[in-house]
Structure 1
């Protein structure tokens, strides 16, 4: 028996799954961890915890009976934008500044003014948002010059795992798209922009299509992990591209709604926007290379989706489980008796691009109990995803259905609320492995398990369907109120 491994290096944990040649998941392991918040709006992580979690997952799989010799290939997906900075010796020189960190807002705006916001957006198909890697590099140059001088390579989290496995530096087109210095149309580094910003070109490693083999497990990594030396390692994907691949979202007819730490609404594009089209698009809309060749995607991102529920559970939920919180929320009518949650724990990206706006509960009264707060959290997060969907609907896509992944897929209540708020039908799949499964599929294609990504999916891989209920009209009114309140908050912060 031969297997491939699919890995997802997430913000709150790392997952490793084992996939057989039929595309079935035969085993999996997970290790959780946390990120640090040194200041309001800042988030950081030590990259070594990702590697330690990955190794621990492998050891668990070996204990479960998976034979390392049966692993034919490895595909790693991971959180986007987070900056892994290495020196010439390949050592990490500071904690990674994460994708949901907004400290770089000012320097991003200054850079756009210097280059020209329209020109930058036309060239890169994106604006320069605070979460993107470029802003982090420029912030370090200004605030931590001694660190800046030591940089020799800039990697994404999944690239760091690949480096630890292979001793080689690599990037893939989907993750590189979110650095802020990538030519999304031509799927290569934007050398002119990198030079204009006075950044060394050698910082940015060779870039591959996501499913290409970028290296093989080195002897040192084999000794640490138990993996056979010489095992193929593909370039891998950004987490959202990996999740899309893992759910068969590789055509314009199907879109993705994902709730992990962040929330995402995504739709595929078979061509990137032209220079003129990119200039006209909303600056908080992302257009990146997909994990399959000759495909791109448009995406809106809300920063604190699942993170909001985790914060509520840990801070105000009395230690209750997620299932218990959902049960409580289910006892409350739609609208949470007038209680509204704004999910801006760390600022917001789509569509507001604000580092100052913050979360809050509005409309509290003496009747509100814990169940109302729990339901208002899932409703507020769903409203933020509706904001993303509004931008996706402006793209030249042909989405006929959206598939849902992430923790939301485990909750009938949240799925129905999301369906009603988005006012669109939703589908789920029979597994919840998202990006890890997509990375594993790409590794399997590279190893000849399947001729193409689409061969993995059986006709019945989409399971349950959800349609908007009579509550949808109520939620459309709630969404309008949500938008009015946000505009008032943004006005206060101007």
Structure 2
């Protein structure tokens, strides 16, 4: 028997056929473009994403594996897509760090009250959550809103495209900022303030809920076992944490498009407001998730904006672009510092309007130094998030790494040195997909006990380098503070203004 996990991210999707013990048997990846039609907007073409998902599934099920009996989806949080009653999209998917709904978020907080929202949802309000996007559709795209049968995230969208009821699992529903943390139902006061009807929202359900049996034609088309089950999966970071076996004392370091630290909490422990915390995919536990919008995305930005020569060299040599630039960066040291706030800062500085900074450049600075500064910048931002987790919960004693960045030994060593803790790496970008598959397997009683992915490598912090990074972290904070002061002093309609007031920290 095999299981299928699908991980839908901001810039690409992955599929993995997995054994009941958690071993990936076949994997596939498909990339799609992040569309930025105007300043502050970021969206996906949902049809393009769906085509990529189906293509990845067909590739893994066409391998020499048993047809999967059940599947579940791991996906990016907060992205919203309006669909009709046949699951067809009526507009683009508005992704997490899109800023068009900032005014709707501010209006919601004013109407309901920050303390009330925190009490209801267990989260500090931030403009990237889904409810602001729902509100924007209702107020700024009323024709689309009226025509929409549902406003869905990507797990629910997959269910709808497979002809089943759109169901949103609790880990994803929490990230909308509209779910009552006690009852796990949509909160009527939040929805009324947002101008959104509950009938347009998917039904919340626990992770591991069997949504239904996938129809015969879909099973045939995608290479699934007849009458395969679709199971409610979870937030990508929750699925990844499940796959790599994160428990108390260790934290997940997830390095995909975004960078995330996640800590599992026992069910009876109070959820901290300082770090967004919601249900885990494991019953009776919670997951605290500290996120930064710029993780591996900074390297994709470098590739698209500055990396043409590197890409040409990698293609000529037949090597991977990212491996090539990171290996070159590992051979140098740099005084340059990058504050990677390309889409603001969340938990680290609780400033969604923050802008990126590059400092310490000289005529000797070349592409290798810039890439090194980007890698270090993501790790420095993560170090600040680790301090927030330590203050709100417990210090992070060790890390278990997953995501595309976990395959890079130089980057893993940078994280170990900057955070000062050991890093065990799965060296796999498929952890979230594997976690989703294991959730599906548990739902159909194919997985017994706690199956996890094996760790491929361990990185110990180097004390000499750690001392240098501690000094660099002080400068990093001052660079953020200096840029924040510049923005505050700029005219409201000037280039440093994005139109959002910001708020307390979130992931």
Q: How far did residue 478 of structure 1 move?
A: 0.6
What does 1:264-303 align with in structure 2 at a 5 Å threshold?
Answer: 264-271=260-267, 281-282=273-274, 285-303=275-293
- Map of 1:245 onto structure 2: 242
TM-score under structure 1 normalisation? 0.91
Determine the C-alpha separation between the residues in 2 that align with 1:148 and 1:65. Answer: 44
Aligned to 1:381: 378
Residue in 1 aligned with 2:139? 142
Deviations 1:113-169 (A, max 9, x none): 221112211221112222210111112223222222223212111221122124211
Cα distance, 1:183 vs structure 2: 1.9
**Secondary structure of 1:485's partner?**
helix
1:327: Cα distance to partner? 1.8
* TM-superposed deviation, 1:378: 0.2
Query: Does the C-alpha gap of structure 1 residues 50 and 332 become closer, same or farther in structure 2, counting only changes over 3 Å?
Result: same
Q: Secondary structure at the match of 1:22?
A: coil
Counterpart contact for 2:138–2:195, Cα < 8 Å: no
What CA deviation, in whole Å up to 9, does each residue of 1:199-240 have, x standing for no partner? 211122222211121111123423542434421110111111
| 2:461 paired residue among 465, 468, 473 | 468
TM-score scaled by structure 2?
Answer: 0.89
Aligned to 1:208: 205
Pairwise CA distance, 1:395: 2.8
- How far apart are residue 409 of structure 1 and its match? 1.5
Aligned residues: 477
Unaligned 5+ residue runs, structure 1?
none
Q: Supply the distance in 1 between the matched residues of 2:395 and 2:204 (Cα, whole angstroms).
A: 29
Give secondary structure in 2 for the equivalent of 1:394.
helix
Match of 2:452 in 1: 457
Task: Report deviation, 1:269.
Answer: 1.4
Whether the 8 Å contact between 2:156 and 2:167 is mirrored in structure 1 is yes
How far 1:64 moved relative to its partner? Answer: 2.5
Instruction: Please give the secondary structure, in 1, of the residue aligned with 2:338.
Output: strand
Q: Secondary structure at the match of 1:57?
A: helix
Structure 1 residues 72, 415: CA separation in 2 closer, same or farther (over 3 Å shift)?
A: same
Of the candidates 477, 481, 484, which is equivalent to residue 483 of structure 1? 477
| Alpha-carbon shift at residue 355 of structure 1 (Å) | 4.2
Question: In structure 2, how many angstroms separate the alpha carbons of the residues matched to 1:273 and 1:97?
Answer: 33
1:97 counterpart residue number = 94
2: CA distance, partners of 1:379 / 1:53: 32
1:88 to 1:58, Cα distance in 2 relative to 1, 3 A = closer
Deviation at 1:11, TM superposition (A): 1.3
Compared CA separation, residues 5 and 234, structure 1 to 2 (3 A):
same
Tell me, yes or no, if the aligned pair for 1:268 and 1:397 is still in contact at 8 Å: no
Alignment of 1:329-368 (within 5 A): 329-333=329-333, 336=334, 338-368=335-365
Deviations 1:397-442 (A, max 9, x none): 4754221111222122111111111122211226441110100011
Pick one of 75, 78, 102 that aligns with 1:78: 75
8 Å CA contact 1:269–1:397 kept in 2: the answer is: no
Q: Answer yes or no: is the 8 Å Cα contact 1:428–1:462 preserved in 2.
A: yes
1:263 to 249, 259, 262: 259
Counterpart of 1:393 in 2: which secondary structure?
helix
Deviation, 1:493, is 1.5
